[in-house]
Structure 1
Amino acid sequence: MDYKTVPGKYNKHKVKIYTISTCMWCTRLKRKLNQNDIEYTYLDIDLLSLSEKTEIKSQLRQYRRILAFPMMFVDDKFIENQYIDQKIQDLVKDA
């Protein structure tokens, strides 16, 4: 799978996001991370092969039965969508 890393000044925590390339909320999250200079790794799952997509979705369903994107993890801990904006602020403060 082709995870991509976007470098940033704030890299104390491991930030990983799962996105869909055409999703406006996913694009918004990437833009916020970029604007706040937070390093993160992402995977656009819609660009994966069917077998890879099936595998990733199966893994993500451990955190949320009905998938909704983006899905964000900080230090391997799932962050619910309603807390993502606050978590971004916390990552900058904790630097």
Structure 2
Amino acid sequence: MKLEHVDGQEKGDVLLFALSTCGWCKKIRLLLEEIGVAYNYVYVDLTEGEERNEVIENLKKWNTSLSFPTLVLNNEKSIVGFDKDTIVEELG
């Protein structure tokens, strides 16, 4: 799975599953950048073939409804949707 990286302060392994056309996904990216957190992301809708299958299988582990955005923290916890308070509490 090919991930894009955004530099910032290391707060563990932060992975965002997003759609390139999703307004809430954009809001999470802006929030992560505002609080200065380093993170990786993948735009699921821009993947194809085997890569998409791999991304979807990985996402299913954290969010069986496959909704967006889904933020995964340290391969331990996921935050589904734009939950600003929880994101800031976990990463801020």
Per the normalisation by structure 1, the TM-score is: 0.81
State the Cα RMSD in Å.
1.8
How much does 1:7 deviate? Answer: 0.5
Q: Do the aligned partners of residues 40 and 20 (structure 1) sit closer, same or farther apart at CA in structure 2, a change above 3 Å counting?
A: same
Q: Which runs of 5+ in 2 are unaligned?
A: none
Residue identity (%): 24
Aligned length in residues: 91
In structure 2, the partner of 1:88 is: 88
Letter in 2 for 1:58: E
Letter in 2 for 1:3: L
Q: Which runs of 5+ in 1 are unaligned?
A: none
In structure 1, the partner of 2:68 is: 69
SS at match of 1:32: helix
In structure 1, the partner of 2:40 is: 41
Query: For residues 62 and 91 of structure 1, what CA distance do their matches in structure 2 show?
Result: 21
Q: Do the aligned partners of residues 79 and 63 (structure 1) sit closer, same or farther apart at CA in structure 2, a change above 3 Å counting?
A: closer
SS at match of 1:62: helix
Letter in 1 for 2:15: K
In structure 2, the partner of 1:6 is: 6
Q: Do the aligned partners of residues 29 and 18 (structure 1) sit closer, same or farther apart at CA in structure 2, a change above 3 Å counting?
A: same
The structure 1 segments of at least 4 consecutive aligned residues displaced by more than 6 Å after TM superposition are none
